[in-house]
Amino acid sequence: MKKMIFSGCVILIFVSMVFVSYAAMTKEPISPTHLSDFKGKWEGWKTTTGQDLRAGLEIYNDSLPLKGKLTFDVQRRGAATTTNTSHFNEGTINNDGNLYIKWGQHYVELSLYKGDGKMKLEGDFRLAGSKGTMTFNKK
């Protein structure tokens, strides 16, 4: 019985730590003052239909429109994983305070989360007919 109580306490402490660390990052509307923070390399994940694949974001400048490149892995049934690279020249801040990157029929819309000296961009994408989410952490 004591072991079960001890195990329950350990699990409760672990879960509390996860919630506290998540709560430390808060969503911030993006403004032009954030643009210098975006410049550089970001690494993360593209998630769609239960599949997590690597993704990267590189922003070349710190003024609007943002220019850069987005790299993401693609895995097709029965084929090896390949990496696609898409360059963009028209990154903007939309009315919702999110980073919005669009080229052709593709788009990525990312919200900014900050806390404990860290930054994260997270949001939705539509690429080549697939939809899902992307998460990036500043390198």
Mind listing the pLDDT tens digit of every residue in the chain (139 residues)? Answer: 555 554 444 454 544 454 444 457 999 999 999 999 999 999 999 998 878 999 999 999 999 999 999 999 887 777 778 898 999 999 999 999 999 999 888 999 999 999 988 999 999 999 877 899 999 999 8
Q: Is residue 1 part of a domain?
A: no
Q: Is residue 105 part of a domain?
A: yes
Q: Is residue 20 part of a domain?
A: no
Q: Is residue 129 part of a domain?
A: yes
Burial of 74 (0-12, 13-18, 19+ CB in 10 A): middle
Q: Is residue 82 part of a domain?
A: yes
> What is the C-alpha to C-alpha distance for residues 40 and 62, in angstroms, rounded to an integer?
9
> What is the C-alpha to C-alpha distance for residues 109 and 71, in angstroms, rounded to an integer?
15
Tokens describing residue 135: 């998460």
Whole-number pLDDT of residue 7: 47
Q: Report the domain count for the chain.
A: 1
> What is the C-alpha to C-alpha distance for residues 82 and 121, in angstroms, rounded to an integer?
23
Q: Is residue 21 part of a domain?
A: no
> What is the C-alpha to C-alpha distance for residues 8 and 4, in angstroms, rounded to an integer?
6
Q: Is residue 55 part of a domain?
A: yes
Give residue for tokens 């730590």: 17
| CATH code of residue 122 | 2.40.128
What is the reported pTM? 0.78
Whole-number pLDDT of residue 65: 96
Q: Is residue 9 part of a domain?
A: no
Q: Give me the domain span that covers residue 43.
A: 28-138
